[in-house]
Structure 1
Amino acid sequence: MFKVKVYVTLKESVLDPQGTAVKHSLNSLNYKEIADVRIGKYMELTVEKSDRDLDEVINDVCSKLLANPVIEDYRYEVEEVVTQ
């Protein structure tokens, strides 16, 4: 079994109004050193071992459902879970 950590973020060329609002709020709270904020999504998937290639499965899932490839990038980390 695997635990897959998926991180989805807006592409650099896409405006992030939510991130801008958070940045302005932080600056107004006197955190002037905060120069930029980008908001994203984090998901954890538990994936059982199968005959299919894990990277292929995760890329399919991300590009078809978890991320919008037009405006978002994604990356993921895989760790094997040892069950007892």
Structure 2
Amino acid sequence: MRRGKSPYTLVFLLIVGLILGGFLGDLLAHFFKELAYYQIIGMDNPLTLNLSFIRFSFQLSLKINIGTVVGLVLAIYAYYKM
């Protein structure tokens, strides 16, 4: 049986790489000032849908720093080396 690479594995590795990279970037920013740079991409105000008996709010924002980018690249590299 042929063992192929699952797209779910790629998504899992990307999410783990983004989380760990962001965490390490924030942690190491205290020691290396170059890692303290980040950019927030997303919505400032949440999108709200009020149906009078229930209210939904949705807001999406991403905080990207150098560690996040490094984690993303390492996750893609790990996927293709599997």
TM-score (norm 2): 0.29
Q: Which has the larger radius of gyration?
A: 2
Highest relative contact order (Cα 8 Å, sep 6+), 1 or 2?
Answer: 1
The structure with the greater share of residues assigned to helix is 2
Structure 1-normalised TM-score?
A: 0.28
